[in-house]
Structure 1
Amino acid sequence: MIRFKFRRSTIAGMTVALAATLLNSIPVSAEDQTTRKNLTPLAANQALQDTSANVIFLNLPISFPLPPRFIKGTIMVPGKALLEGLGYKTKWQADERKLVAEQENKPTLVFWAGLAQAEINGKKITGPPAASFIDQQVLWIPLRLAAEASGLRVTWDAANRYAIVTDPLALPRFSVMTKIDNGLAESPLKMLEYMKQTFKLDVDFVQVGPEYYRQKTMVMIAAGDPTALMLLEDPYVFQDELMSSFSIDLTKDLEDYPRLKELALTAPGSRVIDGKIYGVPRPGDPHNASFPAIRKDWLDKLGLIQPQTMEELYEVLKRFTSQDPDGNGKHDTIGLTGYTNEFGLGTLSWVEHAFTGNPARFTIKDGKVIDYAVSTEETQALQWLARAFKDGLLDKEFAAVSMQQVSDRLRSNKAGLAALNINEAAALTGDDSVWLPLTTVKASSTSVPIAPWNTQGNGTYIVSKNSKLGAKQILAWLDHGIEKTESGGWDTLKDWQLPDQQAVNSLFGQSDMLKRNSSLDSLPAAIRSEYEAAIKSWKKISYSNTSLPEASSLLQTGQYVEFNRELEQLKLKVIMGESTIEDWTNFISKYTASADYKAMLVEMNQRVSTRVK
């Protein structure tokens, strides 16, 4: 197995370079409020030198294959690209060297190559200073004439020397980006149309899958191009100064939206900086998190019952690996698969949870921060994983594979256990496989059972300073969507479709995964009842009063990143047999005695103290 390692400085350099590339390549697409007073109708006789031109289309889906030009004081643009972007169907008639553009309820437009004239609904228009012309196999036409004939308005920003094209009848528009938890990305047409009619707002809705969501948001923020309303998967990874630099202070605006204000102050993912609110957590069921799910059909075939302790689970994994549970006559299955991330054991961290009894590394007990990474229970978790790796029960590639590669393994019947959330497990269940979430798991028969828990919350929405729409309008839109989701009001819409419900769940959150969950609804009744039983069992367990989501701001940013990465890398070495448990205990002894460790705990305890006040 070959593994490639990158230094953090290398990754940071790549991010900066990518951000710089984005900044240089992104066309200007938003109007500057400070220059609006300088906008005047573009004069047809405005005398400018022949040169390249800048044109901005506000809320219009138009892009050009070649940059616009000034010719004799007239902005000339690629005709086919402009007209088709405006909804016209175009036809080039080579014998007459003319371009004809037609659209229902719009005037028919005709432009001739080499002639300083055009035709609008059969009426000849003459006099443009520059004639349409062909260059680089493209017919260039006057921007102003074509745009205004289509009902648009063209204005000239004299100070910054660019034209702005707007539709005076267009609705205000803003952009939204969220993480699609179910991995599907069909357009939710019914939901978007309802919100458009209700708020008289158009929305550019961007859906991004879970595997690359964090990277996508980081790049967009680094490039200075976040969407107007953007979900941050983990808002705590942004230091206070950075968070407030790209997010709007929502404190005053939230006074009109008590539901959102309550979320912003109390829900996991809350970001309050110096008494100011900078985000609204997306509602979510805290138990909708990754947890061991098992192949029930494999259990049934091998005559096994669902395991409850880690030792019972180990024996099941041995049978999954050695007794051909998929019945193909080959020994090509493994017991457990998963993937890691740069901050920890990723989808194998449930093993740590089982032994420590806590879903995250840090917890709060009696007002003080406890670090389970340096506990005896953490050592037991590493011993369990190291034994599973050595015995061939754990995927040998777990430290190198991606989320998608793990998904491929599961779909191709290569593994019998993996950490999945409810929707992921349900999606894998079909005619050939039945995945069932474990009702519980615990270190031993005398240990406390655990349940899945989303320590970081379900993501947090920020209104970015890029937004050209007022924060109140965006918050009203968000508040209505959340209210309608919680009340079940979406179900009453005519022709409500599955993509709409999935988009609603991703966009506005699911506060209870048992309600209006299309993933569960698709399961056979008997299997669904077992899912429901597991969820109801989980709901008896809560970590809400002991979790410390703010810990990620120290672990994943700032001066403690490399310090803690060394600890996480040693975990991998221990699991894969490259280091011993003795190496681990010696490392922990030095780690906890270090000045950096003591300083980190002091900072965490200060944050807990501040939060309690």
Structure 2
Amino acid sequence: MNQRWKRTLLPFLAAATIAVAGCGSNEKEANPSQSNRPEEKAQAPVEITVLAPTYGESTPSDIERIQKLNEKLNVKMNITFAPSNNYQDKLNAVLATNDLADITVVWDPSNHAWANAIAQGAFWDLTPYIKDYPNLSQIPESIYNVTAINGKLFGIPRVRPTDGHEAIIIRKDWLDKLGLPVPQTTEEFTEVLEAFTKNDPDNNGKADTYGIGASGSPIPQTYLLSMFNGPFGFAPMFGFVKDDSGRLTPRIASQETRDALSYWQAQYKAGYFAPDFPVMKGTQPFDLFIQNKVGMVITNINQVIGPPDWQTELRKSVPDAVVQAIELPAAADGKRYYEKASGSFGILMINKKVPEEKLKKILEVMDYTSTQEGFLLVASGIEGKDYEVPNPKLPLVTKPSEAAAALNSQHNQWIPGYFNKYLRAESGLWSDEMNDYSHQLVDSIEKQSVLDLSLGITSVTWNEQNADWSKKINDMIVNVIIGKNTVEDWDQLIRKLQSEPAWDKIVQEVNESYSSRNNQ
């Protein structure tokens, strides 16, 4: 019982004790409604409703792990899951009808409709409360900064690592067979691309291998470009960078972006890309890697281990295969460029209709599920029953039971989670040496990665232009790389976009929102 309730109830309890002593058991029998006493009402579980996405079939809220959470925190969680493929539609519907849950998982609070709802006071401003919750306070400040709206926190971030998602996974055994060092520069990287394509690294006497596997889908495209000048994500206009005057300017108009397109166009023309780059999607480049067809891909560090376990799969046909994660090569200026992730996949927003006392209970739940213990309970279940920990040194790396695996993909969606900067660079199946190597890789990348300054920025005009402009930009990136369009065509597209009134409005809105967020 906390101090507030002690101050309230102790005088009452003292008086009740005296009354019972004076009246004996008859008083107890004459008052059958003792179940309605204030102290017992105060102990009733607080019911909390949640709307969250699911990547599988929905589960009820009374599964064992949630029951244990309820018992520990004296709550009753009532979680509604909506399929991820139409989750945004569900969000828009509940917002339009003002039928909000107590907690809503919101992927993009900068979306025009949600930004308006925030401005109209539909959600709690959590800024003054975070300091009172020790575990929420431990979430890196940089993550809160990115998720802040006009300098205020309208949600708790669903934390993710900020680094480790951009690395090269390479066939180290191919390097060794060809007598090549790990590429450190763009020139050395080009030499490896050529050797992996032309010098028969698999020793089968056929010209059937390629330097790199990549997809024409938007995210892999941006990884190719960000290697040359840093963040190139999906914030307004594909990222912003400060110019010499300190003003944010769109990265797509930079010389470095043009240089990146020229570089990759040359590599594609030379035949170093696996075929079908423009139409490949999802895991198809990874499949080619496992099939012993490509020597490099750009992806998460821990993709080495999968699932599936790339090295194990390769060794079924190539017993001496060695797969290793390495850093991106340095660009022409001698620097390595990485895109620092936001550290959050959406936020948990709290309905302003929730009373303040209930708000504090909700934050208590979030605070607990930000601990290692609370995160493992909700996201993984009961140790020994729902999951095992393959390596005691890595308690957050779990091996779920078959029955629990589907649940885990849902119940880690509605909690903040425990921040682990090495999440994309460790595995319970790796040796200690391999985990140490991967941790050091993340530490090195972390020192060099750059955050897109426009992440979390609201631009009404960008929201209006996003679908049309993004398609034009993405299509042109692919078409320039494959030689269907020239780099000069890219220049022409940028000039055309710059000539439209929306360009200046987007730049203005981004700069104003950035200044407001940073109290400048």
TM-score using structure 2 length = 0.68
Pair 1:523-2:430 in alignment:
yes
Query: Which deviations, in whole Å up to 9, do the C-alpha atoms of 1:266-299 show, x marking residues without a partner?
Result: 5257555567642111233311433332232332
- In 1, the alpha carbon distance for the partners of 2:142 and 2:442 equals 23
1:42 alignment counterpart: none
- In 2, the alpha carbon distance for the partners of 1:404 and 1:525 equals 28
Q: Is the 8 A contact 2:166 2:339 kept in 1?
A: yes
Written as runs of structure 1 = structure 2, the 5 A alignment for 1:327-366 is 327=203, 330-341=206-217, 345-360=218-233, 361-364=239-242
Of 126, 144, 148, which aligns to 1:251? 126
- In 1, the alpha carbon distance for the partners of 2:138 and 2:45 equals 34
Pair 1:362–1:171, CA change in 2 (3 A): closer
Query: Which deviations, in whole Å up to 9, do the C-alpha atoms of 1:456-512 show, x marking residues without a partner?
Result: 744322346899995443322111111346999999x86483488555987544533
2:253 alignment counterpart: 374
Q: Is the 8 A contact 2:461 2:502 kept in 1?
A: no
- In 1, the alpha carbon distance for the partners of 2:158 and 2:227 equals 27
Count of aligned residue pairs for this structure pair: 432
2:71 alignment counterpart: 197
Pair 1:430-2:338 in alignment:
no
Q: Is the 8 A contact 1:291 1:421 kept in 2?
A: yes
The DSSP-based 3-state class of the residue aligned with 1:543 is strand
Query: Which residue identity is paired with 2:69?
Result: M
- In 2, the alpha carbon distance for the partners of 1:478 and 1:592 equals 44
Q: How many Å apart are 1:604 and its aligned residue?
A: 1.4
The DSSP-based 3-state class of the residue aligned with 1:301 is helix
Written as runs of structure 1 = structure 2, the 5 A alignment for 1:163-242 is 172=47, 174-175=49-50, 177=52, 192=66, 194-201=68-75, 203=77, 213=84, 215-224=85-94, 229-239=103-113, 240-241=115-116
Query: Which residue identity is paired with 1:579?
Result: N
- In 2, the alpha carbon distance for the partners of 1:450 and 1:608 equals 22
Pair 1:270–1:511, CA change in 2 (3 A): same
Q: How many Å apart are 1:379 and its aligned residue?
A: 0.9
- In 1, the alpha carbon distance for the partners of 2:60 and 2:202 equals 36
- In 1, the alpha carbon distance for the partners of 2:101 and 2:295 equals 40
Pair 1:459-2:343 in alignment:
no
Query: Which residue identity is paired with 1:535?
Result: V
Written as runs of structure 1 = structure 2, the 5 A alignment for 1:503-518 is 503=408, 507-514=415-422
TM-score using structure 1 length = 0.59
Pair 1:195–1:206, CA change in 2 (3 A): same
Instruction: Please identify, of 309-318 and 481-490, the stretch whose mean Cα deviation from structure 2 is larger.
Output: 481-490
Q: Is the 8 A contact 2:100 2:351 kept in 1?
A: yes
Q: How many Å apart are 1:389 and its aligned residue?
A: 2.0
Query: Which residue identity is paired with 1:369?
Result: L
Pair 1:479-2:372 in alignment:
no
Pair 1:419-2:326 in alignment:
no
Pair 1:557-2:431 in alignment:
no
2:331 alignment counterpart: 443
As a proportion of its length, which structure holds more helix? 2
Q: Is the 8 A contact 1:217 1:232 kept in 2?
A: no
Aligned residues with identical type, % of pairs:
21
Q: Which has the larger radius of gyration?
A: 1
Q: How many Å apart are 1:305 and its aligned residue?
A: 2.0
1:320 alignment counterpart: 196
CA RMSD of aligned residues (A): 4.4
1:548 alignment counterpart: 454
As a proportion of its length, which structure holds more strand? 1
- In 2, the alpha carbon distance for the partners of 1:407 and 1:246 equals 45
Pair 1:358–1:489, CA change in 2 (3 A): same
Q: Is the 8 A contact 1:286 1:454 kept in 2?
A: yes
- In 1, the alpha carbon distance for the partners of 2:80 and 2:298 equals 27
Structure with greater contact order relative to length (CA < 8 Å, sep ≥ 6) = 2
Unpaired runs of 5+ residues, structure 1, are 1-168
- In 1, the alpha carbon distance for the partners of 2:302 and 2:112 equals 28
Pair 1:299–1:529, CA change in 2 (3 A): farther
Of 490, 507, 517, which aligns to 1:584? 490
The DSSP-based 3-state class of the residue aligned with 2:197 is helix
Written as runs of structure 1 = structure 2, the 5 A alignment for 1:64-103 is none
Of 282, 285, 290, which aligns to 1:403? 282
Pair 1:372–1:609, CA change in 2 (3 A): same
Q: Is the 8 A contact 2:215 2:278 kept in 1?
A: yes
Pair 1:414–1:207, CA change in 2 (3 A): farther
- In 2, the alpha carbon distance for the partners of 1:453 and 1:291 equals 12
Unpaired runs of 5+ residues, structure 2, are 1-43, 234-238, 316-320, 390-395, 399-407
Instruction: Please identify, of 275-284 and 554-563, the stretch whose mean Cα deviation from structure 2 is larger.
Output: 554-563
Q: Is the 8 A contact 1:280 1:462 kept in 2?
A: yes
Query: Which residue identity is paired with 1:298?
Result: W
2:175 alignment counterpart: 299
Pair 1:556–1:216, CA change in 2 (3 A): farther
- In 2, the alpha carbon distance for the partners of 1:389 and 1:570 equals 15
